[in-house]
Structure 1
Amino acid sequence: MRTARSFDLHTHSNYSDGTLGPAEVVERARRCGVELLSITDHDSTSGLADGARQARTLGIRLLPGVEINTNSDKQIHILGYGIRADSGVLQEKLKDYRRRRAARVEKILSQLRDVGLEVGLSDIEGVSKESWGRPHVADALKKKGYVGERQEAFDRYLTLGKPGYVASFGPSPAEAITTIVEAGGAACLAHPGIVRGGLDLHGLKALGLEGLEVFYRSHTRVLTANLKAQAQALGLLMTGGSDFHGPGTGRADIGGVDFPAEDAQILAERFFSLCV
């Protein structure tokens, strides 16, 4: 009987909002028995080279990846797998998305200062190697003693309706999917369990969506079964990952995402040849 295989196609390094370098992410994944890994930093592929070197040394498959946060108020994030990271068009678009991220962070900091929280750009700069986001603001609030943990900062200040909330400046879902597809990648919907207002998978597939993150650490068995049925009905790839961010983030466990053998085989056939 074929057994489950451990893949983790959703992790982050310190090139975005993770706390470990890409090589350290690969090393942890290898120690945890992950067979296929993707580092999916927000709007950045710059950690791929470091990760690939370590992956070759340790004998683990590393699939080029990225995560693009869209401007949808439904909290739609698009994961891209097997992208051509050396595409000049892709890199220009990611650079633009990072500029938008920086502008959003500056607005968040301004709003926090308006309510008496003294956090500035100097508290953010240098924490991420490339891509800023709300987690960096959360960590700055923690470092300043305003909160005890990253999640507390989100709950008190950074989510919808809170004083530091600023809507995403990212691209539309259509643009995010197109960006990935034009770079030769497979566009997949991240953590569908947290998408607000229901899923329009038919609409996203029409835009070029290829896959759905069915297997995700916080998904219940019932939700996973429901998502799997939807993916099968629409002919979408079933992907999955831990959404690892590293120590001190509340998302410090990598791996542990076991794919049923038949689903893992489909992913292997789609992605193994694209690993670096």
Structure 2
Amino acid sequence: MSLADLHAHTTASDGLFSPRDLVKHAHAKGLQAVAITDHDTVDGVEEARQEGEKWGIEVVPGVELSTLWHGKEIHVLGYYIETNHSHLLEKLQAQRDTRKLRNQMMIEKLNELGIPIQMDDVLKKKRSHSSKLNVGRPHIAEVLVEMGVVSSINEAFDKYLGKDGLAYVTPQRISPFEAIDLIKKSGGVAVLAHPGLYKQDDLIPQLVSHGLVGLEVNHPDHTDEDKKRYQEWVKKYHLIATAGSDFHGERQGSMYHAELGTCTVALSQLEALKKAVLR
């Protein structure tokens, strides 16, 4: 069966593989398509698309938008967006500015906890020299492991950087409704990323009414119960079920989320997404 992984990150945000190398990795994993869904940036899409042509891999232009709803961080995936859309690029820059603020706030919180981590050390973990590219929590986690504060990336998130962590903070962001509007305006379709992580299923019908077309049913952090529940939501609201590994790569011996190709869909789901664009 021809398969696609619809959630992957590159060095354009907080992944470890360059866009080019991620496509090569997708080919090695036997995938026929991969979505580039970096956090609040589309800078890696064109390089990936060019590499995809060499390997016969369909590269889905995407983005993962960080939003806030009632104090909880919600991520919305956009697929088949116009990556040169001026309004989109403007809003993504604002998103990245907010991300920088969040990083600084977390560093300050860690300092208050007696951990002498510095932003300069975190910035050195970027896998690209471009000043445009994102730094995120995985980069902070790497430094915490190197400092010996924690023994693994997973422990860094569990103890400090995850939503229940001691240093977790989130500044004001756009709402998930605004994210859907932005994705639609830039020619794409919106899918709710890993809904099982939010414990806020009551938000889903509201997002569907606003134009959400799909749910990421199969994600490495979803339980079997989560997958079953969201498959039922898909049927109830006539949505598109997607899947993705949320691939970032392996840091300090820990795979953040899962290996590329762990969670996949048939290529027919891509056709469903393309048809949704045309509605």
| 2:216 equivalent to 1:213 | yes
Contact 2:242 2:269 in 1 (8 A): no
What RMSD over aligned residues (CA atoms) do the two structures have, in Å?
2.1
**Shift, 1:28, TM fit:** 0.8
Q: When the two structures are superposed, what TM-score results if normalisation uses the length of structure 2?
A: 0.89
Q: Which moved more, 1:106-115 or 1:156-165?
A: 156-165
SS across alignment from 1:42: coil
In the alignment, what sits opposite 1:250?
255
2:111 to 110, 113, 117: 113
Q: Which residue of 2 is the match for residue 204 of structure 1?
A: 207
Q: Which stretch shows the higher mean deviation, 58-67 or 123-132?
A: 123-132
Consecutive unaligned residues of structure 2, counting only runs of 5 or more, are: none
Report which structure shows greater RCO (CA 8 Å, sep ≥6). 1
For residues 110 and 272 of structure 2, what CA distance do their matches in structure 1 show? 48
Point out the more displaced range, 230-239 or 246-255. Answer: 246-255
Give the Cα–Cα distance (whole angstroms) in 2 for the partners of residues 5 and 184 of structure 1. Answer: 26
- Helix, strand or coil at the partner of 1:86: coil
Structure 1 letter corresponding to 2:200: G
Q: TM-score, normalised by structure 1?
A: 0.90
How many aligned residue pairs are there? 268
Deviation at 1:83, TM superposition (A): 0.3
Task: Give the deviation of 1:94 after TM superposition.
Answer: 0.3
1:39 maps to amino acid = I
Between the aligned partners of 1:38 and 1:160, the Cα distance in structure 2 is 26
The correspondence for 1:131, drawn from 131, 134, 141, is: 134
Task: Tell me the SS of whatever aligns to 1:14.
Answer: coil
1:76-103: per-residue Cα shift (whole Å, max 9, x none)? 2100000000011100100000000001
Candidates 15, 19, 24, aligned match of 1:18: 15
Contact map agreement 1:79 1:189 (CA 8 A) in 2: yes
Assess, with a 3 A threshold, how the Cα gap between structure 1 residues 199 and 5 changes in structure 2: closer, same or farther.
farther
| Matching residue within 177, 192, 197 for 1:189 | 192
Question: Following the alignment from structure 2 to structure 1, what is the Cα–Cα distance between the partners of residues 172 and 135?
Answer: 12
CA distance in structure 2 between the aligned counterparts of 1:160 and 1:233, rounded to whole angstroms = 29
SS state at 2:123 partner: coil
Q: Give the C-alpha shift of residue 53 in structure 1.
A: 1.5
CA contact (8 A) 2:189 2:273 kept: no
d(CA) in 1 for partners of 2:139 and 2:181? Answer: 28
Match of 1:102 in 2: 100
Asked if residue 81 in structure 1 is aligned to residue 84 in structure 2, the reply is no
| Residue type at the aligned position of 1:58 | W
Q: Residue 27 of structure 2 corresponds to which residue in structure 1?
A: 30
Gaps of 5+ in 1: none
User: Are 1:9 and 2:6 counterparts?
Assistant: yes
> What secondary structure sits across from 1:242 in the alignment?
coil
Aligned to 1:158: 161
Question: Are residues 144 and 57 of structure 1, via their aligned partners in 2, closer, same or farther at CA, if it must alter by over 3 Å?
Answer: same
Report which stretch shifted further, 227-236 or 127-136: 127-136
Indicate the residue corresponding to 1:179 in structure 2.
182
